[in-house]
Structure 1
Amino acid sequence: MCMPSLHEVQHRFKQGVLNEDPAFHVYIKKNKRLHPERLLQVYRNNYYISLTEALENIYPLTQKLVGKDFFAATAKAYIRCYPSISGDLHEFGGQLSRFLDDFPPTQTLPYLPEIAQMEWAGHQAYHAEESPVVDWQILAKIPEESYGKIKLQLTAACHLFAFKFPVLAIRDFCYEPHSEHLNLDSNGEYVLVTRRNMQIYFEKLTAGEYVLLLALQQGRHMQEACCMAIDTESTVDINIFLQKHFMAGTFQKIDWS
């Protein structure tokens, strides 16, 4: 019998773990106490348990919405489609929203992919690189004629979304016992997910506020970003909104050259 290549052995091991393919048993050293199939089963169980626990930690709201048993079954199906490819568990789980979009058992919960998308953003925000933030007092040093040229860079922890469903209302309804009746047919929500002082925040934005931050995140000048925001929402208070986010540490870099 020809010696298999390392790639072939690794592939068979993957199939043995994920799909319970018995072909890998021949590569396992025999043990007097446990059959090769049993040894692989022990490894397989630990593999699925550790990855399922990682998903539970990242997606607590998603789990709460579907129940622990349903989530565990969904996690197993997800792991088979998107097995971990990194030794860092913090990098595992980013495709769950996409997976839920196509997963037949969750098609009656059309809001679930957006809930997962928001939770993954919170996970990313928590582990985002720390960066110094812009001191709002620097604005006093900028010539007034240069205000329109200002470019602001959002921190790496900032994630912006225009959701089709009222994801924050769903979140509040699940976690706050005195929340009002939930209407899933209500309008979607604009959301900023960010980290401040090692705490994750999910903030609801108006349409104009969302457009303003998105334009700045895309590298547009202040004048253009403000015009886009006002065109979207004529009543948006840009000065108050920007002051709030300067104070909150939303921006990590400013340029007006």
Structure 2
Amino acid sequence: MPPEPLSFAAAFAPALLDPLRAAPTVVTGPNGRTAGKRYDVYRNNVTVSLIDALAAIYPAVQRITGADFFRAMARFHVRENPPTSPLLFEYGRGFPDFVARYEHAQTMPWLADVARLERAWLDAYHARDAAPLAPAQLAAIGPERLADLVFTPHPAAQIVRSDFSAGTIFAANRDGASVNRIDASTPEDALITRPGFDVIVQHLPPGGAVFAICLTEGRPLGEAAASALDASSDFDIAANIAGLIGAGAFTSIAFGDA
């Protein structure tokens, strides 16, 4: 009698990502003979498909490291992290953290943040559509009530902070053009949005990331502005709120006591 489907899957799957494990005994060929070589072919195909998925999700990282380095690094990640979703674009969410601790990538300390930007880009691309907040909606609010405003973030809006020039490195390695030498030592914060069909990645000025994070967490405008000014005395609230709305970072506004 053949094994039940669930018990077969439970026996079949664990060795797929571990080349050192023997083929499961439930895998047999004609006349009940062992089929280790057939299983190895399948195992290799699974690993290669997951590495290919990571390469598609993180093209800038692969361009920076080179294909051989990337695929070797990705193979280690695959062995540690089996997929949990049937959707391949959902795979590899932990890859940036893996890159950060990967021994052979330590000479590129900004690489993990580039990967975080690539993951944010893909998530923004697949985020739910929503109409962005119109500037006129904010203009209609009296100045005496602005401090109490609470903003609803757009489903695609994300902020990625980095101690390095990750945004510049990300942008330089996404379009296939030649890359000049980049000073990676300047910290950069990035806003990722998709108000329409195209994903937008733009730099945030000093204090801008603190401001945007506060607003996307539902904190009132006055409190967000105070936190941003604590982070940077040069923070310009008018320019920053205009930039966030223009980038489609929000969908609606309400008053905090509503």
The corresponding residue for 2:181 is: 181
TM-score by length of 1: 0.87
Superposition misfits of 4+ residues, deviation over 4 angstroms: 3-9, 175-180
| Secondary structure at 1:210 match in 2 | helix
- Alignment-mate amino acid for residue 146 of structure 1: R
Q: Distance in 1 between matches of 2:4 and 2:102?
A: 35
The corresponding residue for 1:112 is: 111
Verify the 8 A CA contact 2:96 2:115 in the aligned structure 1: yes
Q: Distance in 1 between matches of 2:180 and 2:55?
A: 27
Q: Distance in 1 between matches of 2:248 and 2:107?
A: 39
- In the alignment, does 2:247 pair up with 1:248? yes
| Aligned-residue CA RMSD (Å) | 2.5
- In the alignment, does 2:10 pair up with 1:16? no
- Alignment-mate amino acid for residue 188 of structure 2: E
- Alignment-mate amino acid for residue 181 of structure 2: H
| Secondary structure at 2:56 match in 1 | helix
TM-score by length of 2: 0.87
Q: Distance in 1 between matches of 2:197 and 2:100?
A: 30
Q: Distance in 2 between matches of 1:229 and 1:176?
A: 36
Change in Cα spacing, 1:116 to 1:211, as seen in structure 2 (3 Å) is same
Further displaced range: 126-135 or 77-86: 126-135
- In the alignment, does 2:170 pair up with 1:171? yes
Verify the 8 A CA contact 1:151 1:254 in the aligned structure 2: yes
- In the alignment, does 2:121 pair up with 1:93? no
| Secondary structure at 1:16 match in 2 | coil
Q: Which digits, 9 at most, give the CA deviation of each residue in 1:53-81, with x for residues without a partner?
A: 21111100100111111111111111110
Q: Which digits, 9 at most, give the CA deviation of each residue in 1:142-189, with x for residues without a partner?
A: 3332111111122121111220111122234445757653223x2211
Verify the 8 A CA contact 1:172 1:179 in the aligned structure 2: no
Change in Cα spacing, 1:160 to 1:46, as seen in structure 2 (3 Å) is same
Q: Distance in 1 between matches of 2:56 and 2:178?
A: 25
Q: Which digits, 9 at most, give the CA deviation of each residue in 1:7-32, with x for residues without a partner?
A: 765444233311132241x3123148
Q: Distance in 2 between matches of 1:228 and 1:68?
A: 42
The corresponding residue for 1:79 is: 78
Change in Cα spacing, 1:12 to 1:154, as seen in structure 2 (3 Å) is same
Unaligned runs of 5+ in 2: none
Verify the 8 A CA contact 1:12 1:23 in the aligned structure 2: no
Q: Distance in 2 between matches of 1:53 and 1:23?
A: 24
Aligned pairs for 1:79-228 within 5 A: 79-174=78-173, 181-184=181-184, 186-228=185-227
Unaligned runs of 5+ in 1: none
Q: Distance in 1 between matches of 2:111 and 2:17?
A: 25
Deviation, 1:5, is 8.5
The corresponding residue for 1:63 is: 62
Deviation, 1:141, is 3.5
Verify the 8 A CA contact 2:156 2:194 in the aligned structure 1: yes
Change in Cα spacing, 1:248 to 1:182, as seen in structure 2 (3 Å) is closer
Q: Distance in 2 between matches of 1:145 and 1:239?
A: 15
